[in-house]
Amino acid sequence: MEWQSEADTSPSSFISEAQVRSLIGKPPATGAWRDGDPVGRRTFTDTGPLRLESGRSLGSARIAWESWGELSAERDNAVLVLHALTGDSHVSGPAGKGHATAGWWSGIVGPGLAIDTDRWYVVAPNMLGGCQGSTGPSSLAPDGAEWAGRFPYLTIRDQVAAQINLADRIGIDAWAAVVGGSMGGMHALEWAVTAPSRVKRLAILAAPPVTTADQVGQNSVQIEAIRTDPLFQGGDYYDARAGNGPNRGLALARRMALLNYRSATELNSRFERSWQSEISPLGAGGRFAVESYLDFHGNKFTRRFDANSYITLVEAMNSHDVGRERGGVASALSRITAQSLVVGIDSDRLFPVEGQEEIARHLPNNIDGSAPVVLNSGFGHDGFLIEDDAVSTQLRRLLP
């Protein structure tokens, strides 16, 4: 999802001078969108108080969202598109004021595309706890200071509850389709289980039914990388001068994550053992190209994301278990009434195909019976964001 994908699509093994120049200067203490920044295409909706699974509450939650297309008079053509961990509401369109990156699914959502905005009214919210306009750690708490480290623990179900409130506020009684990949796929599953009558079609891409111990373990190391940055200061860094935020910790967490977003095959074939410079890595100052790639994208990430939000969202991913308190995965998925599509990627090492197989096996109305569609891609987990043609082919089957 960087161009708001988990990683980038550039085929080059080297970081160009232009890319390096784009990062000249100290990064901000936070890359969060803040009140007073250009709004861009965002709409803001106060979804009211939210009681969280933890027992805590948010007195008021604001969701930033974008839309494309026109809502029909019958209000029956609305499609909800849910983003991955490091995405946001900017699904389609160019970068510009208020939007640091171009739309993360511009090849999927738009006029005449798989999610055709000439036909569908597409809504994409920034998830609760995020850092691009929705209420999150960088937002102001009732006392006038940022929530920072005080922001409450969120679960996937809490975030979906906020999205349900948003749908109520904007007058969408039922979605023609709910579509999500990766973390967005977790939300889509929760939508279909929590409010089955409100989801007519369902598309789950590269997402699991539960976050496994292996995945929680990998996430915990990323969180610790941020918390051990001396400039994290327990999450209270918003008044810091540029360059004095927890950028090293956040960039390190991002580099760790990137290794799971792409496949070993792609990294090995793309970079081999090439060097970023003519200096041998066996001598002083040498640097492998893959090291420069990870370093560049880690540093780039700090300019559009927030360290506290990263922790909040990763912990929400850790909470994901669609069968929790519902009698297990099979029992929970049996509640889903939507016509469903499940897509996995054969090289995905973040959320392997076994997870999509388990989801598909228990969906009552999966269009492929008891199996998922498995895309052949060398890009690993990021395939759902990169393989536009293959993903479009599948989505058109659900949205003919």
279: its two tokens: 């200096």
| 140-179 burial: b if 16+ Cβ within 10 Å, else e | eeeeeebbbeebbebbbbbbbbbbbbbbeebebeebbbbb
Q: CA 275 to CA 292: how far, in whole Å? A: 9
Q: Which residues pair with 140 in a beta bridge?
A: 146
Neighbours of 114 (CB within 10 A): 21
Which neighbouring-strand residues pair with 275?
288
CA-based Rg of the chain, rounded to a whole angstrom? 20
Report, as residue numbers or ranges, the catalytic residues. 182, 348, 381
Residue 266: φ, ψ to 5°: -65, -45
**Would you say 314 and 254 are in contact if contact means Cβ atoms under 8 Å apart?**
no
Query: Are 305 and 85 in contact, with CB atoms under 8 Å apart?
Result: no
Place of tokens 């306009």: 133
Contact indicator for 210, 323 with CB cutoff of 8 Å: yes
Which residues does 285 contact at the CB level (< 8 Å), separation at least 6? 277, 279
How far apart (Å, rounded) are the C-alpha atoms in residues 382 and 371? 21
State how far the Cα of 393 lies from the Cα of 26, in Å rounded to an integer: 43
Of 340, 50, 35, 374, give the one whose Cα is nearest residue 196.
340
